[in-house]
Amino acid sequence: MKLSRVIAIPLRQFYLYRGSAARVVPLFAWVTVDMILWGFMTKFLGGLARTSYRFVPALLGAVLFWDFMTRVMQGVTTAFFEDVWSRNFLNVFASPITMPEYIAGLLASSIVTSSIGLVVMIAVATMAFGLSFGVYGAMLFPFVMVLFLFGMALGVGTTAIVLRLGPAAEWFVWPIPAILSPFAAVYYPLSTLPAPLQWISRLLPPSYIFEGMRAVVAGHHFPLAMLAAAFALAFAYILLAYWFFARVFRHAVRTGLIARYSAETIS
């Protein structure tokens, strides 16, 4: 893997973001709105429930982490879409860049853009609503890492779908976090779901993290075996997403899809 070829992808993103408010504003606008909305919602629920349950770290914290995972996914897909929108596939893939280098470049772009969103969310949640990350203790880092890994897997996997189906398939990508969220136990405990749906949840690494987050906030123990399962699943999804992208890319090169991508005619 050659570093200069990997760097070319985030550098291109940097140039695009530097000259475009339309790209910069969404990095923090929607997550800020989400923090404000859920911040007041947690305040309202806290007042309504009259219990000792800590809504801010349990609910607002969960929304923050879920938004972070969504930003990681969208960071990957948006960097890919820039090549789709500017019809740049032929120029990029006729260069010496390899598929792993290209994916690494997309991930590097995503790390930067999702970090910006995370910093803004943390600032709003802590300053406006008193969210303290100290409550998660030593579990904070592994929680974030699992969500980050799963976000990357989603990004690479959905990118492969768009590569396979053509530019119009981009509309499959945007709702994916919303589709997964009922099963990811972001807003409510896993036990709220009917038993059959809980099986779907158990296939999703975020469900372990949000269950663990609520347990830690409530002062309970979060078994390390659950954390290990979440990591194992997240890594498995990354491998699966990479395999899927590689397969789709190979198909695209074999059929000529790369050379005539915008035509959307090659199945």
Partner 1 sequence: MPERCPVHLVFMPATRAPYHCIRVPTATKAACEPVLRVENLRKHYGALQAVKGIHFQVCPNEIVGLLGVNGAGKTTTISMILGVLEPTAGSIHISGIDLARHRARALASTNFAAVYAPLPGNLTVYQNLRVFALLYGVPDFRTRCQAVLKAFDLQKFRNVKCGVLSSGEQTRVGLAKAMLNRPRVLLLDEPTASIDPASARDIRHTIRSFARRSEVGILWTSHNMYEVEEICDRVLFLSHGDIILEGDPKSLPSQFGKPTLEELFISVAREPLDWEGRNQ
Residues of this chain that interact with partner 1 (CB under 8 A) are: 2, 4-5, 7-8, 11-12, 15-16, 19-20, 82, 86-98, 253-256, 258-259
* Rounded CA separation 264/179 (Å): 26
Residue owning tokens 């099986």: 199
Shortest separation between residue 183's beta carbon and partner 1, angstroms: 37
Q: Residue 13: which of 136, 94, 107, 142 has the closest Cα?
A: 107
Question: Nearest approach, Cβ of 72 to partner 1 (angstroms)?
Answer: 23
In the complex with partner 1, which residue's Cβ is closer, 83 or 211?
83
Residue 193 backbone class (left: φ over 0; alpha: ψ -120 to 50; beta: rest): beta
Least distance in angstroms from the C-beta of 240 to partner 1: 24
Q: Which two tokens stand for residue 35?
A: 């923090």
Least distance in Å: CB of 77 to partner 1? 17
Outline where 86-204 has alpha helix (H).
Answer: 89-93, 99-129, 140-165, 170-173, 176-180, 195-202
Nearest Cα residue to 224 out of 102, 156, 138, 158: 138
